[in-house]
């Protein structure tokens, strides 16, 4: 996909950024799919049991959904260098968009656009999953601009604090949004309060259901046990998000983001409109967060305000930093690893230690202790993250040429 003229360091620093990645990603996804669809169910012995305990597919799906959102946050934090501590707001907006448009929640209306209404729920909006993805992305991008317009005038710490505020406000609105008074509607129930909106419609498989066979049953809609097909759906969305991230990065807008991250004042003096460029980063990041929100809602079968806590924003940020800020692949790895630890790994490590030593330690309750320890260790020994962007690796590992020269290093003579 990289054109011949793409800059050499990008290729040199990151082998995956070249032509190979869509192939590599597809192969990896197919391997996982085959493993869980055909290999493990037909195997006896310890291996299926091992996967069931250490890496069940439901956890894999959670991991890749978090990866979608981490990649979105990476655009804001990694590309444009804007510290956002309230990214969970966009996840929430995306999640509720799915809740509104894919459930029988709004009993006042009855709209069905290629949707799959659950039995006994003819009322409400039932819009096709793929359309809802588009709606949620657009909706979140709109809110990204609305929230960004006043906040992005601030810099660094102040921006972080205000985004933190929005990250708290939006979930609170949903938490208390079951009895709103609008001029045109009294006692309007927007979000069903703490009960949340549940159930939401399943993901319909559309024409693919006719490909169903004995070895690969594809139901008309994906229920809670069709994890392998859901894995395919979510993987496609991850691939799309990676594709968009990489492409934007290589173009005019991506360069402007980098320039702002490097030196805001110099960028503006070179004709880069700061507000508009930052808003674009916010909007794209928010749109991707919206996709993640829709996926999350369909994966857990509903949306509830408690899911959107401040800690989620921090975990997402940790995924970005730990994986390697600015590098999509690093962020992907960071998200998979951290969400695995969070979802299943820690519990199983605890169980193993308990069974070996006989001490009963509730590991998942030390979740944040472990997270904190990992973050501290990473910042001490590998500040640039697991798979850093080649540019960042430069800064953190090599001294600047000017510094070397100032201590008398004899570098190649001046080019003329």
Which residues contact other proteins by CB under 8 A? 3, 5, 7-9, 243-244, 247-248, 250-256, 258-259, 262-263, 265-274, 280, 284, 391-392, 394-395, 400-402, 405, 411, 414-416
Contact 116, 201 (CB under 8 A): yes
Rank residues 90 and 371 by Cβ distance to other proteins and give the closer one: 90
Q: How far is CA 122 from CA 96, 107, 108, 126, in A?
A: 19, 9, 11, 8
Q: How far is CA 412 from CA 189, 391, 416, in A?
A: 70, 22, 12
Rank residues 178 and 250 by Cβ distance to other proteins and give the closer one: 250
Rank residues 52 and 262 by Cβ distance to other proteins and give the closer one: 262
* Residue 4 beta carbon to other proteins: minimum distance, rounded to whole angstroms: 10
* Residue 155 beta carbon to other proteins: minimum distance, rounded to whole angstroms: 15
Structure tokens given for 248: 């934007």
Closest CA to 125 of 156, 104, 151, 153: 104
Angle at CA of residue 95, ends 338 and 274, nearest 5° = 80
Closest CA to 174 of 155, 158, 156, 190: 190
Rank residues 214 and 412 by Cβ distance to other proteins and give the closer one: 412
Residue 187: left (phi > 0), alpha (psi -120 to 50), or beta? Answer: left
Rank residues 164 and 248 by Cβ distance to other proteins and give the closer one: 248
Strand, helix or coil at 44? Answer: coil
* Residue 267 beta carbon to other proteins: minimum distance, rounded to whole angstroms: 7
* Residue 134 beta carbon to other proteins: minimum distance, rounded to whole angstroms: 13
- The whole-angstrom separation of Cα 263 and Cα 271 is 13
Rank residues 7 and 311 by Cβ distance to other proteins and give the closer one: 7
- The whole-angstrom separation of Cα 328 and Cα 389 is 8
CA dihedral 150, 156, 158, 161 (to 10 degrees): 100
Residue 287: left (phi > 0), alpha (psi -120 to 50), or beta? Answer: alpha
* Residue 136 beta carbon to other proteins: minimum distance, rounded to whole angstroms: 17
Rank residues 106 and 130 by Cβ distance to other proteins and give the closer one: 130
Structure tokens given for 260: 């702002």
Rank residues 359 and 415 by Cβ distance to other proteins and give the closer one: 415
The 8-class DSSP code of residue 407 comes to: T
- The whole-angstrom separation of Cα 393 and Cα 397 is 6
φ, ψ at 182 (rounded to 5°): -100, 160
* Residue 266 beta carbon to other proteins: minimum distance, rounded to whole angstroms: 4
* Residue 8 beta carbon to other proteins: minimum distance, rounded to whole angstroms: 4
Rank residues 25 and 36 by Cβ distance to other proteins and give the closer one: 25
Rank residues 9 and 24 by Cβ distance to other proteins and give the closer one: 9
* Residue 280 beta carbon to other proteins: minimum distance, rounded to whole angstroms: 7
* Residue 12 beta carbon to other proteins: minimum distance, rounded to whole angstroms: 9
Q: Would you report the helix, strand and coil content of the chain in percent, each value rounded to 5?
A: 65, 5, 30
* CA 155 to chain centroid: 24
The 8-class DSSP code of residue 414 comes to: P
Q: For residue 60, what are the contacts with CB-CB under 8 A and spacing of at least 6?
A: 32, 36, 231
* Residue 285 beta carbon to other proteins: minimum distance, rounded to whole angstroms: 12
Rank residues 91 and 257 by Cβ distance to other proteins and give the closer one: 257
* Residue 329 beta carbon to other proteins: minimum distance, rounded to whole angstroms: 18
Closest CA to 68 of 324, 320, 307, 314: 320
């Amino acid at each position: 996909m990289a054109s011949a003229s793409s800059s050499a360091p990008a290729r040199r620093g990151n082998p995956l950024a070249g032509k190979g990645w869509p192939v590599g990603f597809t192969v990896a996804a197919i391997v996982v799919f085959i493993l869980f669809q055909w290999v493990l169910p037909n195997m006896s012995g310890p291996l299926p049991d091992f996967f069931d305990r250490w890496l069940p597919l439901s956890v894999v799906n959670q991991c890749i959904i978090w990866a979608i959102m981490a990649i979105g946050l990476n655009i804001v934090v990694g590309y444009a260098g804007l510290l956002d501590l309230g990214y969970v707001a966009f996840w929430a907006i995306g999640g509720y968009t799915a809740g509104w448009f894919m459930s029988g929640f709004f009993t006042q209306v009855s709209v069905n656009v290629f949707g799959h209404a659950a039995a006994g729920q003819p009322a409400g909006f039932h819009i096709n999953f793929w359309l809802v993805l588009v709606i949620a992305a657009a909706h979140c991008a709109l809110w990204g601009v609305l929230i960004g317009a006043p906040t992005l005038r601030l810099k660094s710490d102040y921006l972080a604090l205000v985004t933190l505020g929005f990250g708290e406000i939006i979930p609170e609105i949903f938490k208390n949004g079951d009895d709103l008074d609008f001029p045109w509607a009294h006692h309007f129930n927007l979000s069903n309060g703490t009960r949340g909106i549940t159930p939401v419609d399943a993901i319909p498989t559309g024409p693919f259901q006719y490909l169903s066979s004995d070895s690969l049953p594809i139901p008309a809609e994906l229920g809670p046990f069709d994890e392998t097909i859901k894995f395919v759906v979510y993987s496609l969305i991850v691939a799309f998000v990676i594709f968009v991230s990489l492409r934007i990065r290589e173009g005019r807008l991506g360069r402007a983001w980098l320039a702002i991250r490097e030196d805001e004042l110099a960028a503006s003096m070179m004709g880069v409109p700061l507000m508009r460029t930052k808003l674009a980063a916010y909007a794209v990041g928010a749109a991707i967060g919206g996709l993640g929100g829709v996926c999350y809602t369909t994966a857990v079968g509903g949306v509830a305000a408690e899911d959107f806590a401040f800690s989620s924003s921090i975990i997402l940020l940790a995924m970005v930093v730990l994986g390697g800020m600015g590098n999509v692949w690093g962020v992907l790895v960071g998200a998979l690893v951290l969400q695995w630890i969070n979802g299943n790994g820690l519990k199983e490590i605890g169980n193993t230690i308990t069974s070996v030593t006989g001490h009963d330690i509730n590991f998942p309750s030390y979740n944040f202790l472990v997270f904190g320890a990992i973050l501290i260790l990473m910042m001490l020994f590998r500040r640039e993250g697991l798979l850093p962007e080649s540019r960042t690796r430069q800064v953190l590992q090599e001294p600047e040429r000017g510094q070397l020269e100032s201590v008398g290093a004899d570098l190649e003579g001046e080019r003329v």
